[in-house]
Amino acid sequence: MKWLNRITGRAGAEIPSIVAFHEIDTWLEKVSESLFRGMGTNTMALYEEMADKREELRQNVSELRDAEPKADMPAQITKIGLLSRDKMVKLLYSLCDKIVIPAQTDYRTVLDFHKMASHSIESVLAKISKNIYYVRSLFPDEAREVEANLNQLRDILDRLVAPMKGKESKIMDLSRVHALINAIREQMAEIESEREKIRVEEEERSAIEHEIELSERRLRTMEEEAEWKRLKEYEAELTAIEGELNTLRHDVNNLFTPLQKPLSLLKKQDRSGRVSLSPAVRKAITAILSSPVQALNEDIEDYLRSIRAVILEMDAIKERTRDRALKWIDHLLNSGTDMSGIRARYELLSSRAEELRRELSALEITNEKERLEHAITAAKGQLTRLDDLIAKRRRGIESQAKELAANEIMLQEELENITGKRIEVKFE
């Protein structure tokens, strides 16, 4: 496509083949000047002409506003004409205010100004068209001057865009180029903004890592203090006791697991009134089902015998289930397991665990250790969130960069299409 070469006759010499992206606007001005030859100089002259004509219109509107109506007109025509004149004057003053002459002479500014001014003039003409007859009847000379001004403004606007007539496809090409340039600038700005955010977040990350290092260093220093030895001894004993307590709970749970189903059925039938349990047995069943270790008191064997007797008489339970439950209760009663001793051991260990916790909380070093450990955990959580956020931003930058690269290629292709020659854009 060599239309620009044909227009300028020497476009290769006038339009550089290499352009820095930050200078693309100036470069495009040269392209548009070559396409719309002489438009800049002519546009300035037309701008001045339009400004003069706008002021002339404003003066004529003032004369129309102050004019006296013809005396020989019927009263009804005079009334309508005066109202129409007031409306017309208001609209025309507003039109004069809207026609703001731009400072730029590039084709886009000219097109936008032409569109705005033409629309404003046509809008005013449409609004006064129904009543202009009455205004002409009362103020023929003033109305004629105003109408002439409006037509002259329209003529100037037509002359403004005359250099672009028949070149609509080229204007569309340039419009696509400007849209691409804006998109590239926005993408560059977004990528730079995200990179700056990553820089700030990485600084924050470094600061957090430094805080973690200081906290860990303080913990290592504390390990050399005398109180730390007591702390670790208490913690070791507490850990061992809690392990034994867990083992006891697990063992006791296993003792009563085979009875879970029949005891649940027994409790349900007690609620419905089909069987009647003593308060003590009812309490024992509830304890066995919810916290077996709490059921291991000195009366547990008597409770088990009472439960056995009730299960033996139950009709709602399957025979196989009943036999297994009775067999297991007999096993518990005859195995020689010291169930109340287990409970005593559990309570002794629990009491010692509470005592150790109190001893630990009384140590000043404990609070500092917990504070430091909490701070380290919280800081590591912050690091994880920052790492996720930074990774997300980097993925976004990578995606934006791909789109940017595609737009950069597209821009060069559009420029080559416009100029008819190889154009290299230097992106920074």
Q: How far is CA 12 from its chain centroid? A: 48
Contacts 24+ apart (CB under 8 A), 99-104: 99/50, 99/54, 99/153, 101/47, 101/50, 101/51, 101/54, 102/47
| Closest by CA position to 35, among listed 175, 179, 180 | 175
Is 191 inside a domain boundary? no
Torsion of CA 305, 310, 312, 314, to 10 degrees: -160
Q: Do 59 and 158 reside in the same domain of the chain?
A: yes
Task: Give which of 418, 411, 419 is closest to 188, Cα–Cα.
Answer: 411
At 5 the pLDDT is 47
Considering the domain architecture, whether residues 41 and 161 belong to the same structural domain is answered as yes
Would you give the distance in Å from CA 4 to the centre of its chain? Answer: 45
Range of the domain at 134: 37-166
Nearest to 163 by CA among 226, 114, 229, 217: 114
In a domain, 41, yes or no: yes
Of 166, 188, 216, the position where a domain reaches its end is 166
Same-domain pairing of 147 and 268: no
The answer to whether position 419 is within a domain reads: no
* Structure confidence by residue, pLDDT tens digits, 330-367: 888 887 667 778 888 888 988 899 988 888 887 777 77
**Same domain? 42 vs 162:** yes
- Give the domain-ending residue among 144, 166, 188: 166
**44 with 156, same domain?**
yes
Number of Cβ within 10 Å of residue 189's Cβ equals 10
Distances in whole angstroms, Cα of residue 281 to Cα of each of 36, 278, 312 = 105, 5, 15
Q: Is-contact 299 318, C-beta < 8 A?
A: no
Q: What are the pLDDT digits (tens) for 16-64? A: 888 888 888 888 777 776 776 656 668 888 999 999 999 999 999 999 9
The pLDDT of residue 166 is 65
- Euclidean distance between CA atoms 400 and 48, whole angstroms: 45
**Residue 411 located in a structural domain:** no
CB 266 within 8 A of CB 321: no
Query: Is residue 320, in this structure, part of any structural domain at all?
Result: yes
The answer to whether residue 153 is domain-embedded is: yes
Report, as ranges of residue numbers, the positions in the chain whose pLDDT lies below 70: 1-14, 33, 36-41, 166-169, 297-298, 315-316, 336-337
- Residue 405 in domain: no
pTM of the model: 0.51
Q: Domain ends where: 329, 357, 385? A: 357
The pLDDT, as a whole number, for residue 9 is: 42
343 within some domain? yes
Cβ atoms of 28 and 4 closer than 8 Å: no
364: burial class by Cβ within 10 Å (0-12, 13-18, 19+)?
Answer: exposed
CATH code where residue 104 lies: 1.20.120
Query: Among 229, 230, 68, 96, which Cα is nearest to 153's?
Result: 96
* Helices 75-98 and 39-66, axial angle in degrees (round to 10): 150
Check residue 1 and give its pLDDT.
42
Count structural domains, the chain: 2
What distance lies between CA 355 and its chain's CA centroid?
A: 52
